């Protein structure tokens, strides 16, 4: 018998609160700071965070619905996800996903017409990542295209909220955009797929890592992380960040790249779930530290 407390907790888990904090608040604030070259008025951007969190929570819920079979084959804690163990019904999950998504669109309507349309487009783009007809998460290489387009749409969403010109703003933050694409999106998601290679393969989910194998995927994940670090250095030069900020970045990036290389070497020999997990967690922790460092360095104008 499932208790009310278990159901409520299950619905909360479907929204992935840790991801909401990291992607929507930490990364979102960082993007605002880089776009404006200063800390924004928090009372002004708070509504953006609310809309972003609602939309992302709805998307995460839909993603769990689409991945029930994959999650059920995982040997990690994901097999205890609410939809797999039955603490939340599929019907309730659909209601949650639709309610959160519709609420985000409703609030976006009051910002401006472009922001409203882009919010809908982002939700549609995220939905088809997990579901037919495209189901981009289940096709080799296509899922990487998804994340590249996602970053462009996200920047368009941010600039429309701030009522800034998209093209000019995009080129102004191009170095940081490349860092986000290569390190935050491509490198990290490939590391995540390495971690999930065994259960994705067992469930017939044909990700890029399943298609090329974890050994080759670890090579690419390492290279993408390295390119992302070079893009961040370009960002530091472009914004004239203080040398001490670059040293702090090196203190994060160099050990991370060293660990990426070590994990990659082990995965060349044989696949190990624990090594894949460490690979992904290292990406997550280093991303968080670099993003926080960038936010405060640019926000407080720590320049030469």
Query: In this structure, what is the dihedral angle of CA atoms 265, 267, 272, 274, given to the nearest 10 degrees?
Result: 50
Residue 79 scores a pLDDT above 60 = no
Which is more confident, 236 or 71?
236
Same-domain status, 154 and 270: no
Domain-ending residue, one of 164, 183, 215: 164
pLDDT at residue 75 in the model = 65
Same-domain status, 183 and 131: no
Distance, CA of 197 to CA of 206 (rounded, Å): 9
DSSP annotation of 38 reads S
Same-domain status, 84 and 205: no
Domain-ending residue, one of 113, 137, 164: 164
Same-domain status, 291 and 144: no
Same-domain status, 9 and 156: yes
> Do 106 and 50 form a contact (C-beta atoms < 8 A)?
no
Same-domain status, 188 and 301: yes
- Mean pLDDT of all residues in 56-81: 82
Residue 124 scores a pLDDT above 80 = yes
Residues 6+ apart with CB under 8 A from 303: 239, 240, 241, 242
Same-domain status, 220 and 160: no
When pLDDT is cut at 50, 70 and 90, the band that residue 72 belongs to is: confident
Q: How many domains is the chain partitioned into structurally?
A: 2
Strand residues in 226-267 grouped as ranges (E): none
Give the CA radius of gyration of the chain: 19
**pLDDT > 90 fraction of the chain, expressed in percent and rounded:** 83
pLDDT tens-digit readout, 146-198: 999 999 999 999 999 999 999 999 999 999 999 999 998 999 999 999 999 98
Same-domain status, 204 and 119: no
Distance, CA of 22 to CA of 28 (rounded, Å): 8
Residue 73 scores a pLDDT above 80 = no
Same-domain status, 73 and 183: no
pLDDT at residue 220 in the model = 97
Same-domain status, 141 and 4: yes
When pLDDT is cut at 50, 70 and 90, the band that residue 2 belongs to is: confident
Q: Which domain holds residue 190?
A: 173-304
DSSP annotation of 137 reads G
Question: If you write DSSP's letter for every residue of 58-109 in order, what string do you get?
Answer: HHHHHHHHHTHHHHHT-SSGGGGSHHHHTSS-HHHHHHHHHHHHHHHHHHHT
pLDDT at residue 4 in the model = 87
Which is more confident, 287 or 133?
287
- Mean pLDDT of all residues in 245-262: 97
pLDDT at residue 81 in the model = 83
> Per the structure block, which two tokens stand in for 230?
């070079």
DSSP annotation of 304 reads -
Distance, CA of 224 to CA of 145 (rounded, Å): 14
Task: Give Cα separations from 110 to 15, 51, 158, 165 (angstroms).
Answer: 24, 11, 15, 20
- Mean pLDDT of all residues in 3-10: 90
Same-domain status, 178 and 150: no
Q: Which among 13-22, 73-82, 89-98 has the top mean pLDDT?
A: 89-98
Phi then psi dihedrals of residue 109, to 5 deg: -60, -30
Domain-ending residue, one of 131, 164, 197: 164
pLDDT at residue 97 in the model = 97
> Do 194 and 221 form a contact (C-beta atoms < 8 A)?
yes
Which is more confident, 203 or 84?
84
- Mean pLDDT of all residues in 214-238: 96
Distance, CA of 288 to CA of 94 (rounded, Å): 31
**At 241, is the secondary structure helix, strand, or coil?**
strand
pLDDT at residue 76 in the model = 62
> Do 94 and 14 form a contact (C-beta atoms < 8 A)?
no
CATH of the domain at 96: 1.10.357.140
Residue 215 scores a pLDDT above 80 = yes
Same-domain status, 154 and 187: no
């Amino acid at each position: 018998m499932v208790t009310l407390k278990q159901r409520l907790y299950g619905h909360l888990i479907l929204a992935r609160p840790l991801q909401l904090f990291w992607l929507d608040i930490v990364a979102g604030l960082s993007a605002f700071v880089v776009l404006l070259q200063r800390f924004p008025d928090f009372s002004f951007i708070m509504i953006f965070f609310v809309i972003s969190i609602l939309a992302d929570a709805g998307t995460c819920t839909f993603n769990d619905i689409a991945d029930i079979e994959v999650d059920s084959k995982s040997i990690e804690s994901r097999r205890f996800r609410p939809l797999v163990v039955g603490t939340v019904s599929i019907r309730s999950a659909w209601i949650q996903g639709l309610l959160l998504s519709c609420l985000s669109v409703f609030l976006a309507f009051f910002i401006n017409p472009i922001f409203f349309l882009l919010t809908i487009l982002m939700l549609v783009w995220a939905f088809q990542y997990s579901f037919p007809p495209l189901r981009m998460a289940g096709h080799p290489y296509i899922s990487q295209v998804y994340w590249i387009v996602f970053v462009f749409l996200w920047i368009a969403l941010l600039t429309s909220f701030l009522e800034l010109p998209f093209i000019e703003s995009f080129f102004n933050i191009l170095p940081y955009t490349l860092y986000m694409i290569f390190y935050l999106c491509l490198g990290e998601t490939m590391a995540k797929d390495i971690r999930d290679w065994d259960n994705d393969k067992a469930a017939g989910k044909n990700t890029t890592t399943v298609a090329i194998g974890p050994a080759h995927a670890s090579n690419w994940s390492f290279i993408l992380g390295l390119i992302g670090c070079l893009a961040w250095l370009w960002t530091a030069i472009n914004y004239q960040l203080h040398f001490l900020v670059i040293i702090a970045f090196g203190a994060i990036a160099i050990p991370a790249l060293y660990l990426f290389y070590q994990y990659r070497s082990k995965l060349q020999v044989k696949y190990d779930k624990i090594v894949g997990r460490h690979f992904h967690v290292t990406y997550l922790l280093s991303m968080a530290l670099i993003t926080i460092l960038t936010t405060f360095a640019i926000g407080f104008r720590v320049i030469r």
